[in-house]
Amino acid sequence: MNKAQKEIMLIAQEECAEVTQAISKVFRFGLDGSHNERTNRERLTEELGDLHCMLELIVESGLVDRSELLNASGNKRKKLMQWSQIFEDENV
Ligand SMILES: [Mg+2]
């Protein structure tokens, strides 16, 4: 990895932790719960946006191939369709 790629990976790691924290606040206080005049939904949206930006930079910097990433994403969805209840009729 070059210097830029290392920085991208470091910031991506931080953003993963921030997404984890934002999801934890949603579970504890609800999507519409608020703190300092911002809702947990707004915080979650911001942190997911930050992480999305870092994923794009990971691809753009050549750390990961975009088509392989999309393929991995599709594979995850297939596993969730088999092993989770997310897509069952009563949950959609
Ligand atoms: Mg962030």
Q: Per residue of the chain (92 residues), give pLDDT as tens.
A: 999 999 999 999 999 999 999 999 999 999 999 999 999 999 999 999 999 999 999 999 999 999 999 999 999 999 999 999 999 987 76
- CA of 80 from ligand 1 middle (Å) equals 27
Q: Across-strand partners of 34?
A: 39
- CA of 20 from ligand 1 middle (Å) equals 10
Q: Which of 24, 50, 49 has its CA nearest to residue 35?
A: 24
- CA of 51 from ligand 1 middle (Å) equals 7
- CA of 4 from ligand 1 middle (Å) equals 18
- CA of 67 from ligand 1 middle (Å) equals 26
Q: Which residues contact 4 (CB under 8 A, 6 or more apart)?
A: 61
- Predicted pLDDT at 90: 78
Q: What is the DSSP string of the chain?
A: --HHHHHHHHHHHHHHHHHHHHHHHHHHH-TT-EETTEEHHHHHHHHHHHHHHHHHHHHHTTSS-HHHHHHHHHHHHHHHHHH-STTSGGG-
The residue type found at 68 is E
- CA of 27 from ligand 1 middle (Å) equals 18
- Predicted pLDDT at 92: 62
Q: Which residues contact 81 (CB under 8 A, 6 or more apart)?
A: 87
Write down how long the chain is. 92
